[in-house]
Amino acid sequence: MEASEMSEASVATEGPSEASTSGTREDDDGRTRTAIVAICCLLLFLFLLFMFLGFLNDSTELDDENLKTKPPVYSGNQGNGGDRKPASTTDAVGTMPSRGTGSSGQNWSSWATSPSSGTTQTQSTIPSETTTPSQPGTSQTTATTTTTTGSTTTTTTEDSWHYSQDYTLPVWTYLHKFLCPFWSEKQGFRSHRRTYGIAYFPYMFCHYAMYCCYTLDDQMQLQPERPEVDLPPRDAVRRMAGFKAENYHLKVWLVVRGADAVFHKLLQNSNGEKATFHRNAIAWMRGNNYDGIRIWWTTAPDSLNRSLAELYNDTNDVFNLQENRTFGLVIPYGHHVHAAYNTSKLAHRRAYHTIIMYHDYPRNLTNRKATTYTLREHRVYSQILNQTDRPAFCHLMPFVALRYKIDPAKCGGNRPYQIVPLGYGPPGPLTKTAGILSLPEVCDIVDSTWNTTAVFADNANLRPNYHFACKGEDAIAYTTGEDAELNVGALDTTFEEEVFGVMNPEYDDFPGICPDEFGTKYYPIVRGIFLVYHHG
């Protein structure tokens, strides 16, 4: 009996213990299942998050691709620039606008280039964007390129100047191109202790770079025109081609000119001169990594009209089909008026962007043409070029400033384009040419004591956008970066022109000393045109 009772008591005692153990296992299993579910939910959340981020990245890349192909769009019915300027009438004259962002909404200062970090003692010498112009007659010490660190003094030369630019961004559209010429005779042009040369060339903004010049000799050989600049040690020709390693958009052209007798011989082609020229030119381009040649010759007589067209077309066939290179001409605007041949007939179906049409520096004392030709004249040229393959043409325009004398009583309270010029003003210390100033010279001269106004283009396109400043009998008409943007933007939207360039980048503010109302940092005019095509 006792044993039976003890057994029953033991069983009664073990029953609750087993139930407790079973409950503990169930709790542990529940917590384990909860943890597993939580981990699975977390992994699912992370997976969905990564998928979402990947979708955003794909959308951004798609938008970037769209930005590369969408042409710029300007709204408004103004004759020049649409609603990007205050609404203006035919007599619109406004006060100087403040510099803000470009047409794309991109802040200009974010595109300011600077010397690379590897350049010795140059980073600290770049003037800030808030630099103010000096008083007339004084020098601009903030733009000096000489710095002293301890006992070491380093002077920045044009050979030590480098640019840094991210070319992976969707900067240009597929239609619009920009042309930058380098004139070897401008090597040594000094502005604010900086010497313009090949190392200051604004290659970072260009699709096409044009090096001028080589000479074509009697044997159809290409000869350096200025060996001290073209060949080592300066070696500007090869350095121009070297820029393609830093700007993969860049194509480099050589400009060739020479005596009339040589070109007559080439056009007549009596002894196979054309084939000799082709062989020599191709060998030169291969050896120097150039992408094309442009001939600068404007005196072709009527008897050689057909021969010039044949040279143009035949040479393009040889260069383009065999070498993927191009051949073209450099001719002045209005050449169809005073020359025997019509330039529009030279356009070739494969010769895109091969004919460079340029304006001479404005010497007519009419401030409506102060910095570039009127848009009405561009309309005339565009209508003529539109008779054939217009994409063959590039537009190279000067953006110099004109300085002239006026009646002091007319300074202030009068529309600048109605003031009659009374003669050229004194030459500038940089340009050394009566009546013509570079943009840095304007920045040095014009200060708060000058009466300054912004002139907007009229609906009839009789005048471009430009700025006018006067003080007593002195008057200056000049272009800012925003003016250049508006003028070229009008040519783009109104006439659908594709390729533009500044004829004289050495007269732009390459030292970067002008304040913001003239443009931002280095090359405000070049940058102003460049931003017309920036869709960032």
Domain ranges of the chain: 79-110+130-169+400-536
Q: Determine the residue type at 61.
A: E
> CA 42 → CA 46, 47, 48, 304, distances in Å?
6, 9, 10, 81
Tokens of 161: 């100047």
Q: What is the pLDDT of residue 154?
A: 37
Q: Which of 263, 255, 254 is nearest to 286 (CA)?
A: 254
CA-to-CA distance for 524 and 536, rounded, in angstroms?
A: 18
Contact 375, 457 (CB under 8 A): yes
Q: Which of 283, 321, 304, 353 is nearest to 500 (CA)?
A: 353
> CA 418 → CA 97, 117, 374, 410, distances in Å?
21, 50, 15, 10
What residues contact residue 119 under an 8 Å CB cut-off, 6+ apart? 156, 160, 161, 162
Report the predicted TM-score, pTM, of the whole model to 2 decimal places.
0.67
Largest alpha-carbon pair distance within the chain?
A: 145
Contact 478, 437 (CB under 8 A): yes
Other CB atoms within a 10 A radius of the CB of residue 450 amount to 17
Pairing mode, if any, of strands 466-471 and 393-397?
unpaired
Helical axes 375-385 vs 481-495, angle rounded to 10°? 40
Contact 315, 269 (CB under 8 A): no
Q: What is the pLDDT of residue 372?
A: 53
Q: What is the pLDDT of residue 27?
A: 67
Q: What is the pLDDT of residue 80?
A: 32
Please list the residues that pair with 331 across neighbouring strands.
Answer: 357
CA-to-CA distance for 425 and 332, rounded, in angstroms?
A: 26
CA-to-CA distance for 477 and 452, rounded, in angstroms?
A: 10
What residues contact residue 127 under an 8 Å CB cut-off, 6+ apart? 142, 143, 511, 512, 513
> Measured between alpha carbons, how far apart are the two ends of the chain, in Å?
99
**Residue 35: strand, helix, or coil:** helix
CA quadruple 489, 493, 495, 498: dihedral positive or negative? positive
Q: What is the pLDDT of residue 221?
A: 97
pLDDT tens track, the chain, 536 positions: 444 444 444 444 445 444 455 556 666 777 788 888 888 888 888 888 777 676 555 544 444 434 333 333 222 233 333 333 333 333 334 333 333 333 333 333 333 333 333 333 333 232 333 333 333 333 333 333 333 344 343 333 444 344 334 333 343 344 578 899 999 999 889 999 899 999 899 998 889 999 999 999 999 999 999 999 999 999 999 999 999 999 988 999 999 999 999 999 999 999 999 999 999 999 999 999 999 999 998 777 766 777 888 899 899 999 988 899 999 999 887 665 555 556 666 766 667 788 888 877 665 555 445 555 555 565 556 555 555 556 777 888 888 888 889 999 999 878 887 888 888 888 888 988 888 899 999 999 999 999 998 888 776 656 788 899 999 999 998 989 888 888 887 777 766 677 888 899 999 999 999 988 887 788 999 888 876 544 33
Q: Determine the residue type at 1.
A: M
User: ∠ CA(96), CA(100), CA(103), 5° rounding?
Assistant: 105
